[in-house]
Amino acid sequence: MLIAEPSTNSGQQREKAAELMFEKYKVPALFLAKNAVLTSFASGRATSLVVDCGGGSTVVSAVHDGYVLQKSAATSPIGGEFLTDCMMKSLESKGVVIRPKYSFKKKEVSPGDYKVVDLDFPNTTDSYRLYCMRAIASDIKESVCRVPDTPFDEVAYANVPTTSYELPDGQTIEVGADRFKIPDILFNPYLSQTIPGIDGFGDSTSIRGLPRMVLDSVNRCDVDIRKELLSNILLSGGSSSILQIKERLEKEVLEESPQNARVKVLASGSSMERRFSVWIGGSILASLGSFQQMWFSKAEYEEHG
């Protein structure tokens, strides 16, 4: 059993995973690999700075010769789910009502003309309702949002052309400056404080934007490998905006880097490869002949237990 784990996992969490695998699931052998290492292997590199933009968080980790440099790991609670929350709250504050798909049906009253009829599901939980609304808000985010080329500015984007989006119940909404503001929260977390109903993140000085996380992570590493890390920044994650994030991140990290540094942000052109980079790296690692001697066997576990 090869298990991929977050770069920030503690020794205690690793021990618990081993205990579960050997004692409950009776696996004959086990190996725990860090997500960042596997992403690095998936791109054919043993050394890189991995920036993983996930649903629940963003994690930056330096990988050197196939090992995560633990002191380099930087995490932020801002991920795709938080941006979806921001989109929902912003639309709510503008009076937009997102109706879950299960709560209505469309009835054709005349050819091409539909009437929305409410359906009643009294046993539906609030959490399911919210889940369905979030799925729609997430699709709005993925469909209309764009990472701005420069930091978002309320005044500069005030008259930006709007983009329309048709909700499942047929109502069409117009999304203006939020198209650029919401993705920019990845770079400038304080922007989340300007969205009504969002609290808890942007006011905290410990929450850093993506470029700052990258630079902090690199600066925690040995000075000899910093140049190599800056020229091998790997972006992974399922977001459709990764390629836009790539351009902006490269530009901002370059501005803050030492003058002679070469900054290169890399991202696979395939969204499937980016989303499953950890799994792909794991399949590469597990198929290497030299890897077979690295398994931790049940006998070894019992010996150390």
Structural domain including 110 reads 80-194
Last residue of a domain, one of 194, 225, 252: 194
pLDDT of 240 above 90: no
Residues 244-264: what's their mean pLDDT?
A: 94
CB atoms within 10 A of CB 243: 16
pTM: 0.91
- 213 and 112 in a single domain? The answer is no
- 84 and 182 in a single domain? The answer is yes
- pLDDT for 204 equals 54
- 189 and 235 in a single domain? The answer is no
- pLDDT for 200 equals 61
Cα angle, residue 58 at apex, residues 57 and 62 outer, rounded to 5°: 140
- pLDDT for 108 equals 84
Under DSSP, the state recorded for 190 is G
| Number of domains making up the chain | 2
- pLDDT for 127 equals 96
- 84 and 159 in a single domain? The answer is yes
In a domain, 25, yes or no: yes
42 close to 273: Cβ distance less than 8 angstroms? yes
- pLDDT for 213 equals 97
- 211 and 292 in a single domain? The answer is yes
In a domain, 200, yes or no: no
- 100 and 171 in a single domain? The answer is yes
Last residue of a domain, one of 162, 194, 226: 194
Query: 175-186 pLDDT, tens per residue?
Result: 999 999 999 999
pLDDT tier at 305, thresholds 50, 70, 90: low
